């Protein structure tokens, strides 16, 4: 059975916080058990907005990788690497740029949004306009099927699908495609071949989506097929030609929005974060000094948890019993705010304990992380090189 691949990247923005943990990393840790996963540091993407202050990219990258490992991302399960150490991404970006209409890039919503948000920077650059195309190259070069991202990144995955479709349409017509496809059908074995032909006819003549789906499932299960034949048969179903690049799906991370210390979304730019590897004393202080419902001026003033950022932490960290205790105690002034915060301090410290432990191993010996990344880059590069061979050939650049 063909295993679906997961890929995601993160820009090296500095130390990660609990928002990253609950929003992204916990999800990566689950995915790595189910799928072959590739996770990478998008250092070139960081340069698209920080080209004028590149100084901290490398250090931020290493720190971030330690945060990933601390969170439980496991290099024996997932492949971890750095974008710029796999220069094939840049080659694919360049080749794709030849066929990418400018209008498509200008219409990606993050383009105008980010320019407005970061208006103190000059982002009318070629590199910044190409941000989504570089991301498309990151994804397509591994023929990734699933891309776990937050909501803001969904348009980029959608854009990637359009690029893949356009590419396959323009370059997927290999010489002798029909004959090769018919040969590939035979590789399925008699019974499956017959079913495949039937489903193909039903889809092509009557547009039956269910037939298309069933045919996809059939191909997924066909073990005897080479990669090329599989792709041919996928393409042949829709009559379009060989599918050289794979259209990915966004895997929307259905995460509870992690509130910050002040009740707004946790974000470095709001200064309301608890870092993933924050030391216990600071965590304790940060939670102790969190704002509470302003109605609770004195100890015996009752409050309303709905108006309190501390309550939002309880929603994420506390059991039903504790939450009932908070509700009852807050509205009746039966508990004080310091008391209310105590179970949270304990819960956050408990969550962070294994993270500190895992990180310590890597902090003690920096070779470990370097080796993990060297390994990961090598693995990623092999995959990327395979795709690039097909891409070059399809675009008429095969000099072998
Ligand atoms: N643009 C993504 C972000 O800001 C990072 C990223 C770069 C990425 N390349 C990617 C995410 C490929 C997923 C897949 O979060
Ligand atoms: Fe907030 Fe808890 Fe104080 Fe109520 S008792 S105001 S929920 S910190």
Q: Does the CB atom of residue 303 touch ligand 2 within 6 A?
A: yes
Q: Which of 295, 296, 322, 342 to mutate to test the pocket of ligand 2 (most atoms within 8 A of CB)?
A: 296
Q: Does the CB atom of residue 337 touch ligand 2 within 6 A?
A: yes
What is the second-level CATH architecture of the domain 277-363? Answer: Orthogonal Bundle (1.10)
Q: Which of 286, 340, 341, 347 to mutate to test the pocket of ligand 2 (most atoms within 8 A of CB)?
A: 340
Q: Whose CA is nearest to atom 13 of ligand 1?
A: 8
170 touches 41 (CB < 8 A): no
For the chain, the straight-line distance linking the first and the last C-alpha, in angstroms and rounded, comes to 32
pTM of the model: 0.87
Q: Does the CB atom of residue 231 touch ligand 1 within 6 A?
A: no
What is the residue-level pLDDT of the chain in tens, covering all 400 positions? 568 999 999 999 989 999 999 999 999 999 999 999 999 999 999 999 999 988 899 999 999 999 999 999 999 999 999 999 999 999 999 999 999 999 999 999 999 999 999 999 999 999 999 999 999 999 999 999 999 998 889 999 999 999 999 999 899 877 788 889 999 999 999 999 999 999 999 988 888 889 999 999 999 898 888 888 998 899 898 876 778 999 999 998 766 678 999 999 999 989 999 999 999 999 999 999 999 999 999 999 999 999 999 999 999 999 999 999 999 999 999 999 999 999 999 999 999 999 999 999 999 999 999 999 999 999 999 999 999 999 999 999 999 8
Give the start-to-end residue ranges of the domains of the chain.
Answer: 6-172+251-257+366-394, 177-237, 277-363
Ligand nearest to the CA of residue 328, numbered in listed order: 2
Q: For residue 339, which of 348, 331, 330, 347 has the smallest C-alpha distance?
A: 330
Compute the Cα dihedral for 149, 150, 151, 155 and give only its sign: negative
Q: Whose CA is nearest to atom 7 of ligand 2?
A: 305
Which pLDDT value is given to residue 256? 62
Separation of CA 222 from chain center: 29
- Reported CATH class of domain 6-172+251-257+366-394: alpha beta
The number of the ligand 2 atom at minimal distance from the alpha carbon of 340 is 2
256 CA to centre of ligand 2 in angstroms: 20
338 CA to centre of ligand 2 in angstroms: 8
Q: Output the six-digit token pair for 279.
A: 């030391």
Q: Output the six-digit token pair for 368.
A: 């470990």
19 CA to centre of ligand 1 in angstroms: 17
Q: For residue 26, which of 345, 256, 300 has the smallest C-alpha distance?
A: 256
Separation of CA 179 from chain center: 38
Q: Whose CA is nearest to atom 11 of ligand 1?
A: 9
307 CA to centre of ligand 2 in angstroms: 9
Q: Could you tell me where the DSSP H helices lie in the chain?
A: 18-20, 26-34, 43-50, 57-71, 88-97, 102-107, 109-117, 126-129, 131-140, 154-171, 177-186, 190-206, 209-221, 227-238, 280-288, 309-317, 320-331, 337-364, 366-394
Q: Does the CB atom of residue 345 touch ligand 2 within 6 A?
A: no
Ligand nearest to the CA of residue 344, numbered in listed order: 2
Which pLDDT value is given to residue 172? 86
Q: Does the CB atom of residue 260 touch ligand 2 within 6 A?
A: no
137 CA to centre of ligand 1 in angstroms: 11
Which pLDDT value is given to residue 1? 54
In sequence order, which residues have a C-beta less than 8 Å from that of residue 121 and are 6 or more positions away? 49, 52
Which pLDDT value is given to residue 176? 82
The number of the ligand 1 atom at minimal distance from the alpha carbon of 150 is 15
């Amino acid at each position: 059975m063909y295993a679906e691949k997961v890929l995601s990247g993160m820009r090296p923005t500095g130390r990660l916080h609990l928002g990253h943990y609950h929003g992204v990393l916990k999800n990566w840790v689950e995915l790595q058990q189910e799928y072959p996963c590739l996770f990478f540091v998008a250092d070139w993407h960081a340069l698209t907005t920080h080209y004028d202050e590149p100084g901290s990219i490398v250090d931020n990258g290493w720190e971030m990788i330690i945060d990933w490992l601390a969170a439980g991302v496991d290099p024996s399960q997932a492949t971890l690497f750095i974008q710029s150490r796999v220069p094939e991404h840049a080659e694919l970006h360049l080749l794709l740029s030849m066929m990418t209409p400018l209008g498509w890039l200008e219409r990606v919503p993050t383009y105008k949004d980010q320019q407005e948000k970061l208006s103190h920077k000059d982002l009318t650059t070629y590199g910044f306009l190409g941000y989504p195309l570089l991301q498309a190259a990151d994804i397509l070069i591994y023929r990734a099927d699933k891309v776990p991202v937050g909501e803001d990144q969904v348009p980029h995955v959608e854009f990637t699908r359009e690029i893949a479709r356009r590419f396959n349409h323009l370059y997927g017509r290999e010489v002798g495609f029909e004959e090769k496809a018919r040969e590939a059908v035979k590789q399925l074995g008699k019974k499956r071949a017959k079913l495949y032909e039937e489903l193909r006819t039903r889809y092509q003549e009557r547009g039956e989506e269910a037939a298309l789906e069933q045919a996809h499932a059939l191909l997924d299960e066909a073990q005897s097929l080479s990669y090329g034949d599989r792709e041919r048969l996928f393409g042949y179903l829709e009559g379009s030609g060989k599918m050289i690049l794979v259209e990915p799906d966004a895997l929307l991370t259905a995460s509870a929005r992690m509130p910050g210390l002040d009740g707004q979304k946790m974000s470095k730019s709001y200064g309301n974060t608890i870092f993933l590897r924050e030391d216990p004393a600071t965590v304790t202080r940060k939670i102790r000094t969190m704002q509470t419902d302003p109605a609770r001026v004195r100890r015996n003033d009752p409050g309303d948890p709905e108006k309190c950022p501390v309550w939002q932490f309880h929603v994420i960290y506390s059991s039903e019993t504790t939450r009932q205790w908070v509700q009852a105690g807050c509205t009746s002034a039966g508990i004080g705010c310091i008391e209310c915060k105590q179970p949270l301090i304990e819960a956050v410290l408990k969550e962070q304990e294994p993270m500190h432990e895992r990180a310590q191993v890597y902090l003690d010996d920096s070779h470990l992380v370097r080796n993990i990344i060297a390994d990961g880059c090598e693995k990623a590069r092999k995959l990327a090189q395979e795709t690039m061979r097909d891409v070059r050939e399809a675009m008429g650049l095969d000099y072998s």
